[in-house]
Amino acid sequence: MDSKYNLVGGKSCPKFPTKKPATVVNFGSSTKKARLDQRPTEVTKLGPGTLLQQRKSLPVYGVRNRLISEIQKHSTVIIIGETGSGKTTQIPQFMHEVRLDKNGIIGITQPRRVAAITLSQRVSQEMNTDCGAIVGYTVRFEDVTSECTKLKYLTDGMLLREAMLDTLLMSYSIIVLDEAHERTVHTDVLFGIVKQAQALRDEKLLKPLKIVVMSATMDVDHFSDYFGSVPILYLEGRQHPIQVFHALHRQDDYVFSCLVTIFQIHQDAPANQDILVFLTGQEEIEAMARSIRLIVKDLDGKCPCLKVYPLYSSLPSHQQLDVFRPTPQGMRKVILSTNIAETSVTISGIKYVIDSGMVKVRTHHPGTGLDVLKVQRISQAQAWQRTGRAGRESSGFCYRVYTFQEFDAMLKNSIPEIQRCNLTNVVLQLLALEIDPLTFNFLDKPPKELVNGALQQLKQLGAIDTVEGTKLTEMGHQMALFPLDPRFSKILLSAKDYGCLEEILSIVALLSSESVFVIPPSKREKAVAAHTKFFSSSGDHITLLNIYRSFSAVTQKKQWCHENFLNMRNLQYASEVRSQLAELCQRCKMQMSSCNQNVDQVRKCLVTGLFMNIAELQRERQYLTVESRQIVAIHPSSVLYSLHPHCVLFTEVIQTGSCYLRQVSQVDPEWLRDIVPEYVQQHRLLTLVS
Ligand SMILES: Nc1ncnc2c1ncn2[C@@H]1O[C@H](COP(=O)(O)OP(=O)(O)OP(=O)(O)O)[C@@H](O)[C@H]1O
């Protein structure tokens, strides 16, 4: 590729089915300033060799012995390495090879489930064993490990959960906190938990716990200081070079610029060189996927066959994993992804990365209690992570559809999640560990109002007695057992009082899964008509229950789902989640119960956990939330969209431009007075006053 590149306007310029005229995106290579180009890179040409040859050509392999000796010498080390240097796949294997795991397993945390799954599959392959044997993974609702597992890839959230059962984490000899630079809330909390476990094990003369922190960014002094000036090991180089290009001019529509760039690459590059595009969210991705498919139809076999794969977190797991399969010969895949493919993962075949420079971030506002989803610029660290997804199997290219000046103006690192997200779940987990969240030794303390907001919510849910309190009630202890948002744990635990545990289990399981509705754009009317059969005028929760009940009753599930435009895998997944939740309920000594057709009981039970999520109709379609006094509307996907009931309970609010309530049910304001009298007293409900 030339360093200056006119992306549209070549002789085979595609037609774009958009309103806009095709613009031009010119790119310049940022040779001097690009970080990857500043460092001497070790370039090894790889043929289709064996996995062992591939492993040996990774930069980390050359320093294996020094690395092992440093890890053996110190109880905690920080390792920095560029993307693709081999940190995540190799270092755990090195430690296993010298039997550092003889007294316990090596746990490697990952911020995302897709990374934990694909990494453990890759490492199993490299070690020539089945996934789930020596190497395995644990993610929420899925445990693929066995008694002989020595290397366990797990999400940071799962390790935190394990810490609740054993604060000393005795089954582990080494804990690797990977991708620490991402600063997810769970990794941040784990810093404190593993540090404490290490100190306590030393104090009690138990077997030692080794901690390895791995990061892809250089600013790790902070991590080192936190553990008491521990050594920092720097791994130089990456396996394959990546050429980075920036747009020469500011682009005013990053989505369109990405689309243009995809087709310019597609026209020039040989087949089987795949493209990964970073966008911000599901809707944007699905819209671009449709545009690409339309353009491809117009190309008339002039280019290799192009297959589009969306990748976002609400996509069912199996569809996410499809993306990782090699592309059939003669084809090209283009993956449109959110930031879930940004760190840790290797997607086979990716030669080109196109970076929009944007990301959708969830931020919690303690004042209003609202979680707001906002599209914003990424940080430089994220830009380098995205770049690093190319050049993993051979050299690669990264096209940034923003100028170098824009890159230069980006924040160096993203704001840690703990500074901006809803902390209710984390605070509950800390309290279950008998840790006071107000005095906990956080790597960076979260804002006090976020912690207080979480304590306040836990008090309202009955998990603690007082806001200042650090002791969980019995209800709080039970709530902490469930891998759910505390509001849903509360609903499950209340179900025994309303005699509807069967129903609540189904609803909570469905809310924990991806959407069960399938609405193909070409068969929209038919799909909606099929779904209408299940609709309940009382709202979305009972509608979900109707679907689950029918699904459980039929024997020909596949055909039934197909006829009713429902996603069978998601329903099956929900059914697995349901079984696991039912087991946890049994552990809490809860009896199974069903309210059969008296589904008012179900909605009353939902109020026990979601009473802070009530909104009242103001005027046509406009609602006011009782807790945060926000103007909102019911999301068009809700069955209540055109019914506008007086008082509704909702599962979540999303703000993308306007504020929308999702998963909504009608409630009778009188129920609120019975179920949460104190809350009603504190918050004036208009309907109750009149
Ligand atoms: N699933 C996979 N398929 C093919 N190759 C892979 C796979 N996983 C890893 N590799 C190879 O191993 C290399 C090192 O991957 P690894 O995840 O260990 O790097 P890393 O240093 O942890 O980088 P990052 O932090 O970006 O994930 C990759 O660049 C790639 O060549």
- What are the tokens at 82? 């560029």
Mutation to probe ligand 1, out of 83, 89, 350 (largest number of atoms < 8 A from CB): 89
Q: Is pLDDT of 324 > 70? A: yes
Q: Answer for the pair 633, 660: CB distance below 8 angstroms, yes or no.
A: yes
pLDDT value at residue 366: 67
Q: Which of 497, 518, 520 is nearest to 606 (CA)?
A: 497
- How far apart are the C-alpha atoms of 511 and 650, rounded to whole Å? 12
Q: Give me the pLDDT at residue 6, please.
A: 32
Lowest mean pLDDT among 158-167, 173-182, 342-351, 681-690: 681-690
396 Cβ closer than 6 Å to some ligand 1 atom:
no
pLDDT tens track for 352-376 = 999 999 999 887 776 666 666 778 9
Q: How far is the CA of 90 from the centre of ligand 1 (A)?
A: 9
Q: What is the pLDDT of residue 296?
A: 87
The atom of ligand 1 lying closest to the CA of 216 is: 25
Position with higher pLDDT, 521 vs 687:
521
Closest ligand 1 atom to the C-alpha of 324? 1
Can you say how many angstroms the Cα of residue 476 is from the centroid of all Cα atoms in its chain? 26
Q: Given ligand 1 and candidates 235, 276, 350, 392, which is best to mutate, with the most ligand atoms within 8 Å of its CB?
A: 392
Least-confidence region, from 149-153, 299-303, 398-402, 445-449: 299-303
3-state helix/strand/coil string of 102-138: CCCEEEEEECCHHHHHHHHHHHHHHCCCCECCCEEEE
Q: What is the pLDDT of residue 298?
A: 75
* pLDDT given at position 303: 67
The residues that bridge with 233 in the sheet, in sequence order, are 79
In the reported structure, the alpha carbon of residue 123 is separated from the centroid of ligand 1 by a whole-number distance in angstroms of: 10
Does the structure show a pLDDT above 70 at 4?
no
The SS3 assignment for 514 reads: coil
Ligand 1 center–CA 344 separation, angstroms: 7
Query: Cα(184) to centroid of ligand 1, in Å?
Result: 21
Band the pLDDT of 475: cuts 50, 70, 90.
Answer: very high
Could you tell me if the CB of 216 is within 6 A of ligand 1? yes
Nearest to 516 by CA among 567, 585, 583: 567
The residues, ordered by sequence, that sit 6+ positions from 658 with a Cβ below 8 Å of its Cβ are: 632, 633
Q: How many helices (H) and strands (E) does the chain have?
A: 27, 23
- What pLDDT is recorded for position 466? 76
- What is the pTM assigned to this prediction? 0.81
Note the pLDDT of residue 370. Answer: 64
Q: Is 609 in the pocket of ligand 1 (CB under 6 A)?
A: no
pLDDT of residue 26: 60
pLDDT at 48: 36
H or E element in which residue 213 lies: strand 210-215
CATH 3.40.50.300 fits 26-235, yes or no: yes
Ligand 1 close to Cβ of residue 87 (< 6 A): yes
Q: In the predicted model, what is the mean pLDDT of residues 459-486?
A: 88
CA distance 492 to 228: 43
Amino acid type, 210: K
Query: 217 or 459: which carries more pLDDT confidence?
Result: 459
> CA 445 → CA 372, 422, 436, 451, 587, distances in Å?
22, 14, 13, 10, 35
- Whether residue 85 has its Cβ less than 6 Å from ligand 1: yes
- The per-residue pLDDT for 212 is 97
Q: Which residue has the tokens 């779904």?
A: 531
Kindly give the distance from the C-alpha atom of residue 311 to the centroid of ligand 1, in angstroms, as a whole number: 19
Q: From the CB of 391, is ligand 1 less than 6 Å away?
A: no
β-sheet with 5-6: strand ranges across: 5-6, 26-29, 242-247, 396-400, 350-355, 274-278, 331-337, 305-311
* Residue whose CA is at the smallest distance from ligand 1 atom 26: 83
Contact partners, residue 117, CB within 8 Å, separation at least 6: 137, 139, 153, 317, 321
Question: Is the distance from the beta carbon of residue 348 to the nearest atom of ligand 1 less than 6 Å?
Answer: yes
Tell me how far the alpha carbon of residue 431 is from its chain's centroid.
Answer: 24
**pLDDT exceeds 50 at position 224:** yes
Question: For 538-551, what is each residue's pLDDT tens digit?
Answer: 999 999 999 999 99
Is 117 near ligand 1, meaning CB less than 6 Å away? no
Mean pLDDT of 597-624: 94
d(CA 96, CA 116) in angstroms, rounded, equals 18
- Which segment, 80-89, 232-241, 649-658, is predicted with the most confidence on average? 80-89
Give the distance (Å) from ligand 1 centre to CA of residue 571: 33
CB 90 near ligand 1, within 6 Å: yes
Tell me what the mean pLDDT of segment 161-173 comes to: 94
β-bridge mates for residue 77, sequence order: 212
Once rounded to an integer, what is the mean pLDDT over residues 283-309? 84
What's residue 300's pLDDT? 65
Question: pLDDT exceeding 70 applies to what percent of the chain?
Answer: 89
Cβ–ligand 1 distance for 424 under 6 Å, the answer no
pLDDT at 39: 29
What are the structural domain ranges in the chain? 8-21+241-417, 26-235, 422-480, 611-690
Residue 118 Cβ contacting ligand 1 at under 6 Å: yes
Question: In this structure, which residue's CA is closest to atom 4 in ligand 1?
Answer: 348
Residue 2 has pLDDT above 50, yes or no: no
Give the position, in ligand 1's atom list, of the atom nearest the Cα of 392.
29
CA 240–ligand 1 middle distance (angstroms): 11
CA angle, 72 then 77 then 80, to 5°: 120
Among protein residues, the one whose CA lies closest to atom 7 of ligand 1? 346
Instruction: Tell me if 304 sits within 8 A of 364, measured CB to CB.
Output: no
pLDDT of residue 11: 25
Task: Please tell me the distance from the alpha carbon of residue 408 to that of residue 395, in angstroms, as a whole number.
Answer: 24
Closest CA to ligand 1's atom 10: 346
Spelled out in words, what is the top-level CATH class assigned to the domain 8-21+241-417? alpha beta
Residues 358 and 25: their CA atoms lie apart, in Å, by 17
Average confidence score pLDDT of the chain: 87
Cα 1 to averaged position of ligand 1 atoms, centre (Å)? 25
Q: What is the mean pLDDT of residues 65-70?
A: 94
User: For the segment 10-55, what is each residue's pLDDT rounded down to a tens digit?
Assistant: 222 222 223 232 344 566 654 333 332 222 233 233 333 588 888 8
| Domain 8-21+241-417 identical in fold to domain 26-235 | yes
- What does the alpha-carbon distance between residue 599 and residue 665 come to, in Å, rounded to a whole number? 12
